[in-house]
A = this chain, B = another copy of it.
Amino acid sequence: MPSLDVPALVDHHCHSVVAADLADDALAGLLTESDRPPAPGTSPFDSALGLAVRRWCPPALGLPVHAPAADYLARRRELGAAEATRRLLAAAALDTCLLDTGLTAAAGHPLLPLSEFAEASGARVREVVRLESVAEAVPADAGAWPAAVREALAAAATGAVAVKSVLAYRHGLAVPAERPARPEVVAAAGRRLQAGLGRLTDPVLLHHLLWTALEVCAELGLPLQLHTGFGDPDLTLHRADPSLLADFVRAAEPTGVPLVLLHGYPYHRQAAWLAQAFPQVHTDLGLTASYVGPRVASVLGEMLELAPFGKVLFSTDAYGLPELYLVGAAQFRHGLGTLLDRWLADGACSAPDAQRLARQVAAENARRLYRL
């Protein structure tokens, strides 16, 4: 990022990292949204994200930019996971990280607890509570389920900075405007109990949870984050289009709870429109900025076409690999810098305008929204 000075970064949505040394395949497997082995003859390093990893990470481990994947993996093993993690997180230079604690392992290894992540990264760390994970751990019987879930969520969210929903993965974002009626919810909770609990996939329960989260967030003054757009193969892409949330967004507006649409790609223009149309809606690109590699400035440009600059947030959505923190931060700095340099060269804005936009998106919007 040439002429622009991107200030301290607040990463408003991320996950912790694996402490263990990973086999090469396991590490490569965290460089794709697929949870399957790669097709014969292909490697996750042969991708836009792979190029970004090889651009930003080798120098942090003492290798040249664009070092081949094999060299990078060898050097990483040589240093050991702990040292590599420390170096990569330090190079990311994040001021504050808001960690979603709903996932606790990656590639079969536990993620670092928040305190250890804070130590390794040098960043301030706050927690984001994952709605569906909290609810899945509630063992109540059907009739008691609604109250028990509400109580568990309120307890978990106290002290956290946000609640996050992964509804997009479970049933998609076509959430009705009306809260499900209690008898429906109890009946669905009963069916789930009979089926042995487990993963929450019933749409009535999922929608009930979302309304419960709205209530808890309203009480605690917290934003509600929602995954939208691409993810792993569990997800059906067109059901994760944030435009499908429109009825819910309108119904939730009176609660005043900020809704933060995460990632959005390839529907980020739709998310940006929602952020313009509805005061409580905010948006980010998240892991998109890392995954699209050389294309980051263009995709960021698409997001900023309609999204108010005061409602766009920065996040890495890093998960498992410390590389994804460094890549996320470096891609954002470089991509936003490139984009704003283009705007300046075109005469589209002044240098102070560009600096202001960068400060807002890098940290100020998140600080205001999450009251950091």
Chain A interface size band reads: 35 or more
By a CB distance below 8 angstroms, the chain B residues around A353 are: 51, 54, 66
A32 within 8 A of B: yes
By a CB distance below 8 angstroms, the chain B residues around A191 are: none
A211 within 8 A of B: no
Q: Are A243 and B250 in contact (CB under 8 A)?
A: no
Binds B, one of A35-43, A105-113, A131-139, A150-158: A35-43
Give which listed residue, B55, B250, B265, B350, contacts A233 with CB less than 8 A. Answer: B250
By a CB distance below 8 angstroms, the chain B residues around A47 are: 276, 306-309
By a CB distance below 8 angstroms, the chain B residues around A72 are: none
A180 within 8 A of B: no
Give which listed residue, B42, B243, B357, contacts A308 with CB less than 8 A. Answer: B42
Q: Are B308 and A44 in contact (CB under 8 A)?
A: yes
List A249-272 residues whose CB lies under 8 Å from chain B: 250, 258, 265-266, 269-270
Q: Are B36 and A278 in contact (CB under 8 A)?
A: yes
By a CB distance below 8 angstroms, the chain B residues around A277 are: 33-34, 232-233
Give a binary string over A104-131; 1 marks a CB under 8 Å from any B CB, 0 the rest: 0000000000000000000000000000
By a CB distance below 8 angstroms, the chain B residues around A280 are: 39
Q: Are B270 and A238 in contact (CB under 8 A)?
A: yes
By a CB distance below 8 angstroms, the chain B residues around A278 are: 34, 36, 233
Give a binary string over A292-330; 1 marks a CB under 8 Å from any B CB, 0 the rest: 111100110110111111110000000000000000000
By a CB distance below 8 angstroms, the chain B residues around A258 are: 39
A93 within 8 A of B: no
A284 within 8 A of B: no
A274 and B33 alpha carbons, distance in the complex (Å): 10
Q: Are B241 and A238 in contact (CB under 8 A)?
A: yes
Chain B residue with the shortest CB-CB distance to A344: B294
List A323-354 residues whose CB lies under 8 Å from chain B: 338, 342-343, 346-350, 353
A46 and B357 alpha carbons, distance in the complex (Å): 8
A220 within 8 A of B: no
A73 within 8 A of B: no
Asked whether A349 and B233 contact (CB < 8 A) given A39-B311, A42-B308, A310-B43, the answer is no
9 smallest A-B Cβ distances: which pairs? A42-B310, A294-B348, A266-B269, A292-B305, A66-B350, A233-B277, A237-B243, A46-B309, A238-B243
